[in-house]
Structure formats: C-alpha cells, structure tokens
Amino acid sequence: MRLLDRLWEGVLLIDERLRVVYQNEYAKNYLGNVYGLAISEALRVPRLSEIVDAFLANTETVIETTFVKSGVEKHFMIRTINPHIIFQDISERKLLESAKMDFVNSLVHEFSTPLTVINGYTQLLMDERSSLPAETSGTVERIMRSTQRLSKLVDELAMLSNLELHNYKSTVQTINLNTLVEEVVAETEPKWKKKDLTISVNAPTDLYLKSDALLVYRIVANVFSNSIKYSYMGGKVEIQLSKDKNSVSVSIQDHGMGIRSEEIPRIFERFYRSSSAKASGMSGLGLGLALVKHALSVIGGTIEVNSRYMLGTEVTVKFPRVD
C-alpha cells in the first residue's frame, strides 16, 4: 500500500457494501479522510450515479466530472476498475484545452474573411488560366489547392466550435448512406491512391437513414481519413455497412499503426494526438475525432473503437434509425 501513496492519482478501495476501506495519500489530500464512508458520501461529484452504476455492473468506465476543493472547481477524470475507483486532477489540462479553443475561435474569425477574398480572386484566375503562361497557370492551381485545404480546416474548426457551444442548427433529411460513402471514398481518392491502398466497401443496396446529412458526412469522412492516414503503404481499408431495427452502422477497419489501449479513452479529446501519430511525424491538430464525438452527440449516434497497437483499428459508428 505504501507504493500507492507515491502515485499522482487518487486510489479508493471499495468493499462489497460500497464503502471506502482504503485511500492513498493523494485521495486524502483531495477528499479528506473518507475511510468507512459510502461512495456517495466520499465522492460528492456530478455524475456520481454513473460511477456507482458502473461499479455495481463491474464494468470499467472513464468519466470526466468536477469537484470543488477549498472553493475552487477542479476537473477530475475518474476510472472505475472494481474494486477500485481511481481519480486524477486534470484541471491544468482542461485549462490548456480551453486556452487552445479560445485561440482556435480567434483564428477562425481572423482567417474567414481573408480566405474568402483569396478564394474569390484565385477562382477568377482559374477561370482565365487557359490564357496564362503554363508556369503561371500551375502556380495558380497550387494556390487554389492550398487555399481549399486551409478553408476546409477553418470550416472544421468553426463547426467544432459551434457543436461545442450548442450553436449548430441540425437539419434532418433522408440520406442514401451508400451514395454518401461513395462520395467520401471518391473525395479522398488522391490520398489513398498516394499510399497505394485498397479500399473495399461491403454494403446492402439502398441503405437509408434520416439524419443531418452534413454531420453524417463529416463523421464518416473523418473516420475514413484517419484510417487512410494511419494505414501502412500498400495496405487495405475495409468499409462495412449494416443495419438492424434500431440503427444503421458504418464500420471502418484498417491494418495500420493502431492505438495503445491506454490512449483510446483520450482520442476524442480536442487537440489530443496519440503516440502513434506523433511518432509517425504526420501532421494534424487532433480535432477530427473531437468533431466526430460532438456531431454524434447532436444526432444521437454512438462510436466504438477497437484497436491493436501496430496491427490496426476498427471504428464502428451507429446512427439511430428514425421512421
């Protein structure tokens, strides 16, 4: 037990009566002496019922919540691993994320107008490129591609901000999921062809759902783009569409770098990049899956990630069926 006192995490040992029978020094510093107290008395935090339910069901779960200490609100990440509850103060990390998001919002605001102007003038030049010298025409095309990439990034940042601030206005319409997936694959063709990937799509014909078409497209496109990015050269990405009476599913599996199991709970945090992503040297802000998570919360969908480090990842997204 002395070893647990050296951890930078709080550890509570819970008995069959749901009472605390051990706490390490970290837990004492935050909670005070809670020995012998019930979980509900020891942990006075929002979402307590979820923690207790997970504990009773003997399932491992990770929950972010808040805790007030000495009049100051702290952010906690709590894991239930029966018979233990483990928690960590993530307030500094949340403060940093907030500062990053403030910066992103400012960036979107400052970039949007200049990019619109650049796009407009570049499009005018593109319309007249047949009359331009070959070298100048090639330069204009490169400017257009670079501007489009930057515009797409700014659009994604703006959407994430709107989703987080609950400013997004959702529009429900009938979506042909087969067609949508075909469009995603076609749009990303230069990327997967550059890596010599094989893309297979297995789907029943005429698979429809009612949802927000823009959000569904962004969700599928972001998950598929990640599969391309982290696949090895000459690999394969498999897309499987299916349905049951409650949902329509899109499963995307690659055979690439994979994600370490301990990192999976964090991959939906904005700006988080896994060790595989960092080690590979690939560019990215770590916003794609954060957008996916918030988009799914708007349309009532779910996402499941199964990954084996260095062997590949399968991501399954489920969209609710609405009659």
| Cα–Cα separations (whole angstroms), residue 283 to 230, 243, 255 | 11, 35, 20
CATH number at residue 202: 3.30.565.10
Which among 40, 69, 89 is the end of a domain? Answer: 89
Q: Do 16 and 97 belong to one domain? A: no
Residue 101, pLDDT > 80, answer no
Q: Tell whether 33 and 135 lie within a shared domain.
A: no
Band the pLDDT of 199: cuts 50, 70, 90.
very high
Residue scoring higher pLDDT (105 or 92): 92
Predicted confidence at residue 323, as pLDDT, reads: 62
Tell me what pLDDT residue 189 has: 93
Question: Regarding predicted confidence, which is higher, 229 or 287?
Answer: 229
Domain stops at, among 89, 107, 140: 89
Average pLDDT over residues 204-220: 92
| Whether residue 219 sits in one domain with residue 97 | no
Query: What element of type H or E holds 188?
Result: none
Residue 65's domain comprises 4-89
Task: For residue range 266-291, list pLDDT tens digits in order.
Answer: 899 877 888 877 776 676 777 889 99
Beta strands in 70-158 (DSSP E): 72-81, 84-89
Same domain, 198 and 283: yes
Q: What is the pLDDT of residue 281?
A: 67
Which of 21-30, 32-41, 193-202, 266-275 has the lowest average pLDDT?
266-275
**Is the pLDDT reported for residue 233 higher than 90?**
yes
Q: Chain-centre distance of CA 88, in angstroms?
A: 21
Q: What is the pLDDT of residue 162?
A: 81
CATH number at residue 31: 3.30.450.20
pLDDT the model gives residue 160: 83
Please, which pLDDT band fits residue 315 given cuts at 50, 70 and 90? very high
**Do residues 63 and 104 share a domain?**
no
Mean model confidence pLDDT for the chain: 88
Does residue 260 sit in the same domain as residue 158?
Answer: no
Please compute the mean of the pLDDT values over residues 84-100 and round it to a whole number.
85
Confidence check: pLDDT of 1 > 70: no
- Do residue 77 and residue 198 come from a single domain? no
Query: What's the total number of domains in the chain?
Result: 3
Q: Are residue 153 and residue 204 in the same domain, yes or no?
A: no
pTM above 0.85, yes or no: no
- CA count, 13 A, side-chain hemisphere, 210: 6
Longest Cα–Cα distance of the chain, Å, equals 83
pLDDT for the residue numbered 147: 87
What percent of the chain shows pLDDT beyond 90?
Answer: 44
* Per-residue pLDDT at 283: 67
292 and 208 fall within a common domain: yes
Per-residue pLDDT, averaged over 258-273, amounts to 88
103 and 81 belong to one structural domain: no
Same domain, 260 and 178: yes
Query: Contacts from 49-54 at CB under 8 Å and sequence distance 24+?
Result: 51/78, 51/80, 51/85, 52/18, 54/80
207 and 298 share a domain? Answer: yes
- Model pLDDT for residues 129-146, shown as the tens digit of each residue: 888 888 888 888 889 888
Give me the pLDDT at residue 297, please.
93
- Give the residue from 41, 67, 89 where a domain finishes: 89
